[in-house]
Amino acid sequence: MAKKLTKNLIYNAKQVYFQNNFIVNSKNIKLTWKFINEALGRKTVPLQLPSMIYENQRFENPIDIATALNNHFCSTAENLCNSIPLVNFEYAGPSVGSSFYINPVQEQEINIIIQSFQSKDSIGGLDEFSVKHVKSVVDIISKPLSYLFNLCIEQGIFPKILKISKVVPIHKSGSKDNPNNYRPIALQSIFSKILEKLLKVRLNVNMASGKRVPLNML
């Protein structure tokens, strides 16, 4: 009797545990899958790539394997870009009458955006800063960041260093030595994400106001 009762208590406790975690992390795909795998009893096995075949050549050195995957992902992206009709986007220069006004970036706004990110140890881009790193110094860096981001907006420049991501290959299915069986996950710099959010808010505000947004300003 006690054994059956204990099993029922454990079962109910697990059910509540997973239900609560699925609700709390409903907007976090990574954590959702973590708990799905935990519920199904799946164990995460570190990805090991003994070799990779790219352009009919087999690579076994880790650096050569990484290079082969990088070349594969880059060629795929290049082919996709070539299939899209070319549109000439150029910076239109200083504001004109047919353009729209972009509010300056404020320190408090940057502070709110940074605090909205989930605290993670993962890093992306070349700066190697994690969300936890930036959150720990948010009160110090908000002012210089607002100055730098305002310069980016005024001059129509998105810094090249913020366009570089750390790419992690995720195996989908099939043979592990076939680069077509991987999908790339790009980890961006947190500073890139902050600037993107700032621009998104300003574009949405102008679109909501009913003003026409010139294509060369997007």
pLDDT at 216: 37
Strand 57-59 relative to strand 52-54: parallel, antiparallel, unpaired?
antiparallel
Q: How many CB atoms lie within 10 A of CB 66?
A: 15
Task: Identify the pLDDT of residue 17.
Answer: 86
Residues 6+ apart with CB under 8 A from 22: 32, 35
Q: Looking at residue 19, what is its pLDDT?
A: 84
The CA-atom distances, in angstroms, between 77 and each of 81, 133, 156, 160 are: 6, 31, 25, 18
pLDDT at 215 over 50: no
The answer to whether 217 touches 101, Cβ cutoff 8 Å, is: no
Q: What is the pLDDT of residue 99?
A: 59
Is a pLDDT exceeding 90 seen at residue 92?
no
214 pLDDT more than 50: no
Query: pLDDT, tens digit, for every residue of 123-137?
Result: 878 888 889 889 999
Half-sphere exposure of 67 (CA within 13 A, CB side): 9
The DSSP line for 103-117 is PPP-HHHHHHHHHHS
Which of 61, 173, 75, 192 lies closest to 123 in space, CA to CA? 192
Q: Give the CA diameter of the chain.
A: 81
CB 30 within 8 A of CB 122: no
CB 153 within 8 A of CB 145: no
Q: What percentage of the chain has pLDDT greater than the value 90? A: 30
Which helix H or strand E contains 54, and what residues bound it?
A: strand 52-54
The Cα–Cα gap between 43 and 133 comes to 29
Query: Mind listing the pLDDT tens digit for each residue in 130-187?
Result: 898 899 999 999 999 999 999 998 888 899 989 888 888 888 888 989 999 999 988 8
Res 149: pLDDT = 95
